[in-house]
Amino acid sequence: MGTNNIDIAASHRTAIGCSKIAQALGMSRWGTSFELWSQLTGRQPWPDLGNHLRVALGEPMEITLKPFVAKRLGGTLTRDRREYRHSDLPLVGHVDYRLSRDARAVVELLGAAADKRPVADMKTSLGHGARHRFGDDGTDEVDADVLLQMQGYMILTGAEVAFVAALVPGPDLKIYPIRADAELQDLIREGVLGFWERVMTDTPPDPTTEAEARARWTRHTAGKVIEVDPATAALLRDFAAVKARLRAVEAEERAIRDTLIPALQDADTVVHDGATLCTFKANRDSERIDWQAVAMEAMNDCPDEVREELIAPHRRTLPGPRVLRLSRSLEA
């Protein structure tokens, strides 16, 4: 079903937006499933896109492109101002345009007019990432994010085909027809339900980066011993070897700096044989206030209980960072 005047950002906090399907399934190049889970469970703030120029220019550029896209597709494009929510899946979508069922591109692709109006989506960021997201014009060579987004739209609308109109660096307009794929749509249904179950039960997906792992496991479990597989053991040995090389390079750098810096004295520019080699200037002075010292001085005359009453609401315990200490056998 569809309704007008929908807050897209708000709706994406209550269901998985089609543009986030690849991320939920762990197949996106633009974000991880752990990151999306953290946002949906309130552990991580949603990105603020309000001041992004590419977002602000999105709809005006779509309006400009509309006649060019309509001409390429040989049909009528109608702006779709509705929100589509699935009756059984935690899936929501906001489609850019719907194409007339008998458009030339539809008939050429399906051999007849479509039963339902095809989806038409425009990608207009012109970012360098477009080079990796889109293949040859007229093919279905789009990245996982776009492919799964279009399949999600077709799940929600029942459309048999979606057309992606991409404005890529050049600028150049390329059209990608994406046909409904039942197998892929089953994968989406299963993946979306599985991911949403993790959100509802507060069960995190597997971390894929150090930052995510540290957010997932902020503290160690006392006495827990883990037997790793050969690949992980090899990674630890590689890590130890890299750290040893870094220590050697850092020692070499310190030795060079100890000789070099005294030679530069108080000069702001260093030249040799008429060519500038470097500058050695101080950055602009900055002012800092030790607010803790200010507060303690202001409370010097306060009774102990009053001081504690003032401090208590602002006291918090921060978990000590977990430190990876290699055994001596690896560092040897």
Is residue 330 very low, low, confident or very high in pLDDT (cuts 50, 70, 90)? confident
Please report where in the chains the tokens 């190049």 appear, as a residue.
Answer: 29
Say yes or no: 258 and 199 in one domain: no
Q: Is residue 221 situated within a structural domain?
A: no
* pLDDT, tens digit, 9 for 90 and up, residues 109-121: 999 999 999 999 9
Residue 128 above 70 pLDDT? no
Measured in whole angstroms, the distance separating CA 1 from the mean position of its chain's CA atoms is 29
Q: What is the pLDDT of residues 147-204, one digit of tens each?
A: 999 999 999 999 999 999 998 887 889 999 999 999 999 999 999 999 999 999 999 9
pLDDT tens-place string over residues 266-311: 999 999 999 999 999 999 999 999 988 888 888 888 888 888 888 8
The verdict on 259 and 111 lying in the same domain is no
The length of the chain, given as a count of residues: 332
**Cα 309 from Cα 322, distance rounded (Å):** 32
Cα atoms found within 13 Å of the Cα of residue 257, Cβ hemisphere only: 7
pLDDT in tens, 34-86: 999 999 999 999 887 655 666 666 678 888 899 999 999 999 999 987 899 99
Long-range contacts of 285-288 (CB under 8 A, 24+ apart): none
State how many domains the chain has.
2
Between these two residues, 129 and 323, which has the higher pLDDT value?
323
pLDDT of 4: 45
In this structure, the answer to whether residues 179 and 73 fall within a common structural domain is: yes
Of 212, 238, 254, which residue constitutes the final position of a domain?
212
| pLDDT at residue 2, as a whole number | 40
User: Which tens digit of pLDDT belongs to each residue from 205-248?
Assistant: 999 999 999 999 989 999 999 999 999 999 999 999 999 999 99
- Tens of pLDDT, residue by residue over 245-267, are 999 999 999 999 999 999 999 99
Q: Looking at the structure, tell me whether residues 65 and 205 fall in a common domain.
A: yes
Residue 294 resides in a domain = no
Residue 309 lies in a domain: no
pLDDT score, position 58: 67
Which amino acid appears at position 34 of this protein?
F
* 265 part of a folded domain: yes
Tokens of 30: 């633009």
The β-bridge partners of 175 are: 165
State which residues form the domain around 86: 8-212
| Domain limit, last residue, from 157, 182, 212 | 212
Pair (131, 246) in one structural domain: no
Is residue 51 assigned to a domain? yes
Distance between CA 19 and CA 9 in Å, rounded?
Answer: 12
Cis peptide before 205 (omega within 30 of 0): no
pLDDT at position 151 = 98
Closest CA to 102 of 174, 160, 147: 160
Same domain assignment for residues 201 and 267 = no
Task: Indicate whether 306 belongs to any domain.
Answer: no
For residues 97 and 80, what is the distance between their CA atoms, to the nearest angstrom?
5
Q: Does the pLDDT of residue 129 top 90, yes or no?
A: no
Residue that finishes a domain, picked among 179, 212, 245: 212
Both tokens assigned to 37: 């889970």
Q: Are residues 251 and 189 in the same domain?
A: no
| Domain-embedded: residue 137 | yes
Residues 139 and 274 in one domain: no
Average pLDDT, the chain: 90
In this prediction the pTM is: 0.80
CATH at residue 28:
3.90.320.10
Residues 236 and 190 in one domain: no
Structure confidence at residue 127 (pLDDT)? 65
Residue 321 included in any domain: no
Residue 52: predicted pLDDT = 63
246-to-7, 242, 252, 253, 257 alpha-carbon distances in Å: 50, 6, 10, 10, 16
Question: Would you say 99 and 106 are in contact if contact means Cβ atoms under 8 Å apart?
Answer: yes
Question: Is residue 110 located within the same domain as residue 201?
Answer: yes
- Is 88 found in the same domain as 58? yes
> According to the 3-state scheme, what is the secondary structure of the chain?
CCCCCCCHHHHCCCCEEHHHHHHHCCCCCCCCHHHHHHHHCCCCCCCCCCCCHHHHCHHHHHHHHHHHHHHHHCCCEEECCCCEECCCCCEEECCCEEECCCCHHHHHHHCCCCCCCCEEEEECCCCCCHHHHECCCCCCCECHHHHHHHHHHHHHHCCCEEEEEEEECCCEEEEEEEECCHHHHHHHHHHHHHHHHHHHCCCCCCCCCHHHHHHHCCCCCCCCCCCCCHHHHHHHHHHHHHHHHHHHHHHHHHHHHHHHHHHHCCCCEEEECCEEEEECCCCCCCCCCCHHHHHHHHCCCCCHHHHHHHHHHHCCCCCCCCCCCCCHHHHC
The reply to whether 242 and 194 lie within a common domain is no
